[in-house]
């Protein structure tokens, strides 16, 4: 087994999962239940299955598509998502500012 690959995958996934919506959902479910062990087991199984699907898909795709093309496609995909999020947040901020400005002129709106 390639320990360096194992360690880098662990660290990457661990850091990516900290504070994301999955972890917040787990905190919420645990807070409404008196069985944190069951929540842990269910969330662990779900993460393992999702990781298995991702690893299988990546392995299958790399057999058909060159690795460089997959990395380029993933990079472009993340870039597009990031740009859309930036665009949406700047547009959303302007819409909120306009609504607040309009709302202050007429308190009944």
Per residue in 21-37, pLDDT tens?
Answer: 888 899 999 999 999 99
- The answer to whether residues 57 and 107 belong to one domain is no
Inter-residue contact 94 to 102 (CB < 8 Å): no
Residue 26, Cβ neighbours under 10 Å: how many? Answer: 19
- The answer to whether residues 52 and 71 belong to one domain is no
Tens digit of each residue's pLDDT (9 = 90 or more) over 46-86: 999 999 998 898 888 888 999 899 889 989 999 999 999 99
Domains held by the chain: number: 2
> For the chain, what percent of residues have pLDDT higher than 90?
44
Inter-residue contact 56 to 73 (CB < 8 Å): no
Q: Which domain covers residue 17, as residue numbers?
A: 1-64
- The answer to whether residues 70 and 108 belong to one domain is yes
**What global pTM score does this model have?**
0.56
- The answer to whether residues 52 and 86 belong to one domain is no
Report whether pLDDT(105) > 90.
no
- The answer to whether residues 99 and 89 belong to one domain is yes
């Amino acid at each position: 087994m390639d320990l360096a690959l194992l360690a880098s995958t662990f660290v990457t996934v661990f850091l990516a999962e900290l504070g994301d919506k999955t972890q917040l959902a787990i905190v919420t479910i645990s807070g409404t239940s008196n069985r944190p062990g069951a929540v842990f087991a269910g969330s662990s199984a779900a993460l393992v299955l999702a990781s298995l699907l991702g690893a299988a898909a990546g392995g299958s795709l790399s057999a058909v598509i060159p690795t460089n093309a997959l990395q380029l496609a993933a990079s472009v995909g993340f870039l597009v998502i990031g740009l859309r999020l930036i665009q949406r947040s700047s547009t959303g901020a302007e819409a909120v500012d306009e609504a607040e400005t309009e709302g202050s002129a007429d308190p009944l709106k």
